[in-house]
């Protein structure tokens, strides 16, 4: 079974802090994704990565950056956290030859 893990289930940070959200998958998937989930808005794509060191902006990249130095790990970075970044963050991965994305359990981030 594909396993996607995220470093924290719950995280509380202060405004202005630099925040790292880590995602690791164990199935050698090339494609990885970061979404945020907000009530009434569904899941929105922040960034995705085709492969190591390859990244592309999604629909709402402002205020975020990403890093993919190793195939199994995809990090989401909030350079200076703000209260409007309080949300559930979901990571996903997939094989480029398939369409199904496999999701991690999510990190609920609160910025105070």
Partner 1 sequence: AQKVTQAQTEISVVEKEDVTLDCVYETRDTTYYLFWYKQPPSGELVFLIRRNSFDEQNEISGRYSWNFQKSTSSFNFTITASQVVDSAVYFCALSEPTGTASKLTFGTGTRLQVTL
- Which residues lie near partner 1 (CB under 8 A)? 9, 31, 33, 35, 40-45, 48-50, 56, 58, 88, 90, 92, 94, 96, 99-106, 108
Closer CB to partner 1, residue 44 or residue 73?
Answer: 44
Cβ 94 to partner 1 shortest distance, Å: 7
Parallel, antiparallel or unpaired: strands 87-94 and 73-78: unpaired
Radius of gyration over every alpha carbon of the chain, rounded to an integer in angstroms: 13
Cβ 79 to partner 1 shortest distance, Å: 24
How many Cα neighbours within 13 Å face the side chain of 104? Answer: 31
């Amino acid at each position: 079974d594909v396993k996607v893990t995220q470093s924290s289930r719950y995280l509380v940070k202060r405004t202005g802090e630099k925040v790292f959200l880590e995602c690791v998958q164990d199935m050698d998937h090339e494609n990885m994704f970061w979404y945020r989930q907000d009530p009434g808005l569904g899941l929105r794509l922040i960034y995705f990565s085709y492969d190591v060191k390859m990244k592309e902006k999604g629909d709402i990249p402002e205020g975020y950056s990403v890093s993919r130095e190793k195939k199994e790990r995809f990090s989401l970075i909030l350079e200076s956290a703000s209260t409007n970044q309080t949300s559930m963050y979901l990571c996903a991965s997939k094989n480029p030859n398939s369409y199904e994305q496999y999701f991690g359990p999510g990190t609920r981030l609160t910025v105070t």
